[in-house]
Structure 1
Amino acid sequence: MTTTRRTQQDRRDQAEAALLTAAAELIVEQGVRALTLARIGERAGYSRGIVTHHFGGKQALIEQLARATQTGFVPGLNDLPAGLDRLLRLIDGYLGELGRTSVFNQAFLLLWAEAATQPELARIFRERDEAFRTDLREDIEAGIADGTVDPAIGPEEVAVAIVGQLRGIALQRLLAPGCVDVEQLRRSITGHWRRALSPA
């Protein structure tokens, strides 16, 4: 019987994944203020020292958690060209993913809300929201260029409105899951943005 020996990189990746999972679970259960390196290490089955070894500290771990959580949140977008169809697919997919909110997505939303009052988190989440708005803005600009989006539309203003709407719905879903009918919202909100953005 042969066994595949794990490489050092495999062990590193496994440890980092376990630490990020532990951090996300602790944030959801106890809040970001209760998050410590010792608790993260203990939850993941490692020492506090390994958290420092992999991430350097709590701030770097939270940054990695924020980036990892939102990367590829809506699958399949990379295969679509920029434009109105991709924008609507992103909105629809984002809302669809809310129906399957994982501990990572819950942690991201809690951290995002906490960033309003925590300066050490604010920079991370300003960057994440700017990346989100840039993605949306590029789709709107491509739609204007190909004639599927009204040229009178302001790409930056629409991007801000969409991010605000989606993040707001996500927070409502997190706080009161029963009052947010994700499937109904997918139809109505995607239809709203199609009508609002299409040329008259």
Structure 2
Amino acid sequence: MNKKKRLTREARFQQLMEEAWRLIREEGTEALTLGRLAERAGVTKPVVYDHFGSRTGLLAELYKAFDERQTALMDKAIAECEQALEPISRAIADCYIDCVDTQGREIPDVIAALAGSPELEQLRRQYVRIFIDKCRRLLAPFIGSGTLPDAAMWALVGVADAVSYAATGEEITAADAKAELATLIRSQVERFRK
């Protein structure tokens, strides 16, 4: 008798996450339902509901995984680079673009789906604020007694999203997106330096 090995809860969660990303890549976020995910993963609906609770919970987990990957890449890059404005601005830009590029067109779709729900949009804004605070801390040594205002930081995020999505959509190269974002980061620091 050939029995299937039962996955641990963590292994099942990872399998479902990978299948969810694959489903979005192949069919878009509109096709992402817990029932469809269960079907594609070869499990029952209650298994998927047990892990995510709802479609909103699944989208939140997908965005959280993306954000954690982006944070880990950025932390590693910052730790390994020279602590000067140019290399730090390049590290921030490179990590942002690389992480979106690695995830492909799926992350813009997930972010668009997040915007469709007040609860999910609040979650995304929470992660953006964490990113803004991290960048502000990283750039603080280069701004003198000045400060990077919230509007300037949100503008950086807006540009980062725009150029990363343009690179993912092959409208510009990833190298051009990275260079433009790094230049903007440096110019914002110079603009508010005192």
Q: Which runs of 5+ in 1 are unaligned?
A: 1-5
Aligned pairs (5 A) from 1:1-200: 11-73=8-70, 75=73, 77-78=75-76, 80=79, 84=85, 85-98=87-100, 100-102=101-103, 106-140=105-139, 142-143=140-141, 148-174=142-168, 176-177=169-170, 179-198=171-190, 199=193
Rate the CA distance shift 1:188–1:62 in 2: closer, same or farther, 3 A.
closer
Decide which moves more: 124-133 or 150-159.
150-159
Work out the CA distance in 1 between the residues paired with 2:39 and 2:148: 49
Could you give the per-residue CA deviations for residues 65-93 of structure 1, whole angstroms, max 9, x where no partner exists? 11111213262525639884544411122
- The alignment's C-alpha RMSD in Å is 2.9
Read off the aligned partner of 1:101 and give its amino acid letter.
Answer: T
CA-CA distance at 1:155 after TM superposition: 3.9
Count the aligned residue pairs: 183
Rate the CA distance shift 1:167–1:55 in 2: closer, same or farther, 3 A.
same
Work out the CA distance in 1 between the residues paired with 2:106 and 2:67: 11
Rate the CA distance shift 1:172–1:50 in 2: closer, same or farther, 3 A.
same
Rate the CA distance shift 1:27–1:18 in 2: closer, same or farther, 3 A.
same
What TM-score does the superposition give when structure 1 sets the normalisation length?
0.75
| 1:180 partner SS | coil
Work out the CA distance in 1 between the residues paired with 2:36 and 2:94: 37
CA-CA distance at 1:109 after TM superposition: 1.9
CA-CA distance at 1:153 after TM superposition: 4.3
Could you give the per-residue CA deviations for residues 15-52 of structure 1, whole angstroms, max 9, x where no partner exists? 10111112222233333333211111111222211111
Confirm or deny: 8 A CA contact 1:37 1:52 kept in the other structure: yes
